[in-house]
Amino acid sequence: MLKFSVHHKDGTARTGTLSTAHGEIQTPVFMPVGTAGTVKGMMPESVKATGAQIILGNTYHLMLRPGAERVAKLGGLHKFMNWPGPILTDSGGFQVMSLSKLRKITEKGVTFQSHLDGATVELTPERSIEIQHLLDATITMMFDECTPFPATHEEAKASMELSMRWGERSKKAFQSREGYGIFGIVQGSTYRDLREASANALKGTGFDGYAIGGLAVGEGQELMFSTLDYTTPCLPEDRPRYLMGVGTPLDIIGAVKRGVDMFDCVIPTRAGRNARGYTTGGEVNLRNARHAEDTRPLQEGCACPACADFSRAYLHHLFKAEEMLGPMLLTWHNLQFYQDLMRIIRAAIAEKNLAACEEAFRACWDEGDIPEL
Amino acid sequence: MLKFSVHHKDGTARTGTLSTAHGEIQTPVFMPVGTAGTVKGMMPESVKATGAQIILGNTYHLMLRPGAERVAKLGGLHKFMNWPGPILTDSGGFQVMSLSKLRKITEKGVTFQSHLDGATVELTPERSIEIQHLLDATITMMFDECTPFPATHEEAKASMELSMRWGERSKKAFQSREGYGIFGIVQGSTYRDLREASANALKGTGFDGYAIGGLAVGEGQELMFSTLDYTTPCLPEDRPRYLMGVGTPLDIIGAVKRGVDMFDCVIPTRAGRNARGYTTGGEVNLRNARHAEDTRPLQEGCACPACADFSRAYLHHLFKAEEMLGPMLLTWHNLQFYQDLMRIIRAAIAEKNLAACEEAFRACWDEGDIPEL
């Protein structure tokens, strides 16, 4: 059971507080991804210092290594990775599709080969929920099939209906406790009738929050937004909504406008490891030679150490020399940028000013035409 | 000009304070290596948090990338890498020998091919000193030829005498300033008459400190110690002595006993990146499966975050999963271990207790027979 209070509304956008056993979360919130029990290249206190309130863990990765029973034996994921705050774990469904080979999907669940050692592994709704319980996830995700994109209506319908049955089994397997919760996942590809049917099925089962899955899989921002336009109105007002795997800053602002409260994405961390820094002026590739003698910080006014303590010239040098500190600093910066973005969004909603905030941001940061700074 | 005061003596070992333009250094001191303008995997404030008082930079690496003139333009190495404390730069001689190809040594200097792009580069005593000046090194090293090991007496003599002439030219090229200094480097391989002649030649030229070079190149601990036994007595009592590129904890204790004040070595950082952690009970390989469920810290009582916040099981997991945080944490721990070692050594000298300290350490940490913990 998770308590969720909505504080301010600006159109469909809202701010709120999600109260959990591991702390309160101010929404809209961005959750950094800590796939294998670590946000890559970051000390946990550094993740916290950026303003992160909750992080993600991955059932698929952790069940294969070090193993869910082992994490439980070691005191749970919070203790293991020294992150006492809230943790949301995905159910493994998405990674089974994207990372493993030789998958076999039946009504019971999925059998697949581990991408690590080729071992045959079975994942069912019951086992996924058990793993997330062993990890001590604050927020557990129902086990679903991530519908490939594109999919015909028939394929999307069959896939969604299977996920809905798995959702019921997930809910049944979940051990309800105060401050812990389980989220349902809306599927149905980009078909309105399927999304509506999926949302209704989940509401019938009853979850602590509702995720929107199967987006950010190549359909593009326009189709993603139009899907949200008819999907979020089908979800309960008094429960948090989570758009999985999204996205760029303008994806996030657009989804918040459409009523989404929670986000996760590897973009800031992955881009950081690859020398791409986020600024209010656009994306900056620090490998570019034009930074070699640039004494300016990556982002003027940013509180992260990459900007407070170093020049663009130094960051450029670190990436040219393939020094670990380059990915470390730029990951930190990008996470800071995303957390600052969420703070700005929350403040704008409180002031009923989100549209102006979006316009201001879009004016200097249009992803369709990012200047190479 | 650098001020050096000796405080305590225990036999030939001594504690002292070296005062520089960038801060005071308590000796004996261990200097972490920041080859290319960064101690690999560490934020500068984390390096400082371990107790590091001075770090190394490498002339060879920095002259090739990003270039000494560029570093000067960007405000010097201290500002560039955000390390306001003292920095010692080596002269490039050692790396020319160990890293570059197609070297040609003449009286004038060394011509070599860059290991980065194959470009032909010339390094002379005058250019080496100029580069170190451009980097704004607190302590500049004279340019020398690192005599290969083993070398015949004839080879070692010719090489040492060339280095002594380069030392004179280095001293002449060095711009003396308050709080900055230049160190000479004793060469002569493992030949007593050559080491004595080298020390005398350097004393004649006059330096702010005296390094012992050409050791830790494969001669073994016994031969290194016996070389120190007759070399350090030839060096001025009132000037700091620096044993270059050394070493393991027992190398360091043994050299301190023989009158050495300063050390640098890649061992703690390189070992850390390779899952090898230093403890008072010996070296620990964190990749070993026996750590998989070990809830103990790597080193009981250690203040570093690897030990304070995480278990051996978690460190093991990070290395198995090839997560950046593994090398980050273990580098931090090993640097902490080395700085703690130096603190213990300084305290033991002050109490005239170094022999007992060495025995206690050797009893649980004999490098000839390190238990795989």
The Cα B142–Cα B173 span in angstroms is 10
Q: Do B327 and A325 touch (CB under 8 A)?
A: no
Residue B215 pLDDT more than 90?
Answer: yes
CB of B295 within 8 Å of a chain A CB? The answer is yes
Q: Do B293 and A73 touch (CB under 8 A)?
A: yes
Give the closest-approach CA distance of B274 to chain A in angstroms.
14
Residue that has been written with the tokens 């494969």 in this structure: B218
A13 against B103, higher pLDDT: A13
CB of A308 within 8 Å of a chain B CB? The answer is no
Strands, sheet with B23-27, edge to edge from the N-terminal-most edge strand: B3-10, B13-20, B23-27
Average pLDDT, chain A: 95
Instruction: Write down the catalytic residue from A90, A144, A251, A261.
Output: A90
Residue that has been written with the tokens 């969004």 in this structure: A345
- Banded pLDDT at A274 (limits 50, 70, 90): very high
Answer yes or no: are the C-beta atoms of B255 and B263 closer than 8 Å.
yes
CB of A289 within 8 Å of a chain B CB? The answer is no
Residues written for chain A: 373
SS3 sequence, B252-293? HHHHHHCCCCEEECCHHHHHHHCCEEEECCEEEECCCHHHCC
CATH of domain A3-265: 3.20.20.105
A-facing residues of B in 127-156 (CB < 8 A) are: none
Residue A362 backbone phi and psi in degrees, to 5: -65, -35
Residue that has been written with the tokens 């860059």 in this structure: B114
Beta-carbon contacts of A209 under 8 Å, excluding residues fewer than 6 positions away, are A2, A4, A18, A139, A181, A183, A184, A239, A240, A241, A242, A262
Which residue in A37, A40, A313 is closest to B74 by CB distance? A313
Burial label, B301 (beta-carbon count in 10 A; 0-12, 13-18, 19+): exposed
Q: Do B66 and A41 touch (CB under 8 A)?
A: no
- Banded pLDDT at B81 (limits 50, 70, 90): very high
Q: Do B314 and A44 touch (CB under 8 A)?
A: no
The Cα B112–Cα A287 span in angstroms is 27
The Cα B117–Cα B344 span in angstroms is 44
Cis before A240? omega within 30: no
The Cα B252–Cα B246 span in angstroms is 7
A-facing residues of B in 320-349 (CB < 8 A) are: 320-321, 323-325, 327-328
CB of A57 within 8 Å of a chain B CB? The answer is no
The Cα B273–Cα B259 span in angstroms is 31
Name which of A283, A289, A290, A287 is nearest A267 in CA terms: A283
Partnered with residue A300 across adjacent β-strands are none
Torsion angle, CA of A153/A155/A156/A161, rounded to 10 degrees?
A: 120
Here the tokens at position A276 are: 């791409």
Residue A298 pLDDT more than 50?
Answer: yes
pLDDT digits (tens, 9 = 90+) for B91-112: 998 888 888 887 899 999 999 9
Tell me how many degrees the CA angle A209-A187-A17 measures, rounded to the nearest 5. Answer: 20
Which residue in B38, B309, B328 is closest to A318 by CB distance? B38
Average pLDDT, chain B: 95
- What are the domain boundaries of chain B? 3-265, 276-369
Chain A CB contacts of B313 under 8 Å are: 66, 70, 74, 80
Residue B370 pLDDT more than 70?
Answer: no
Mean pLDDT of all residues in A7-24:
98
Give the closest-approach CA distance of A319 to chain B in angstroms.
11
Answer yes or no: are the C-beta atoms of A355 and A238 closer than 8 Å.
no
The Cα A138–Cα A177 span in angstroms is 10
Assign residue B40 a region (left: φ > 0; alpha: ψ between -120 and 50; beta: otherwise): beta
Q: Where are the beta strands (DSSP E) in B91-172?
A: 101-105, 110-113, 120-123, 139-141
Beta-carbon contacts of A12 under 8 Å, excluding residues fewer than 6 positions away, are A232, A233, A257, A258, A259
Q: Do A38 and B292 touch (CB under 8 A)?
A: no
CB of A66 within 8 Å of a chain B CB? The answer is yes
Helix (H) or strand (E) holding B157: helix B153-173
Residue A139 pLDDT more than 70?
Answer: yes
Confidence (pLDDT) at A369? 43
Which residue in A40, A74, A317 is closest to B295 by CB distance? A74
ipTM of model:
0.97
Torsion angle, CA of B40/B42/B47/B49, rounded to 10 degrees?
A: -160
Q: Do B327 and A324 touch (CB under 8 A)?
A: yes
CB of B237 within 8 Å of a chain A CB? The answer is no
In DSSP notation, A254-314 reads HHHHTT--EEE-SHHHHHHHTTEEEETTEEEETTSGGGTT--S-SSTT--SHHHHH--HHH
The C-alpha R_g of chain B, in whole angstroms, comes to: 20
B90 is catalytic: yes
Torsion angle, CA of B27/B32/B35/B41, rounded to 10 degrees?
A: -160
B95 against B244, higher pLDDT: B244
The Cα A336–Cα A331 span in angstroms is 8
Mean pLDDT of all residues in B343-361:
94
Mean pLDDT of all residues in A72-86:
98
pLDDT digits (tens, 9 = 90+) for A340-356: 999 999 999 999 999 99
pLDDT digits (tens, 9 = 90+) for B149-192: 999 999 999 999 999 999 999 999 999 999 999 999 999 999 99
Which residue in A70, A317, A318 is closest to B293 by CB distance? A70
CB of A318 within 8 Å of a chain B CB? The answer is yes
Partnered with residue A2 across adjacent β-strands are none
Answer yes or no: are the C-beta atoms of A287 and A59 closer than 8 Å.
no
Which residue in B45, B75, B325 is closest to A38 by CB distance? B325
Confidence (pLDDT) at A362? 87
Which of these ranges, A102-106, A108-112, A132-136, has the smallest mean pLDDT? Answer: A102-106
Confidence (pLDDT) at A113? 93
The Cα A30–Cα A336 span in angstroms is 11
- Banded pLDDT at B372 (limits 50, 70, 90): very low
Confidence (pLDDT) at B366? 63
Residue A18 backbone phi and psi in degrees, to 5: -105, 120
Mean pLDDT of all residues in A226-241:
98
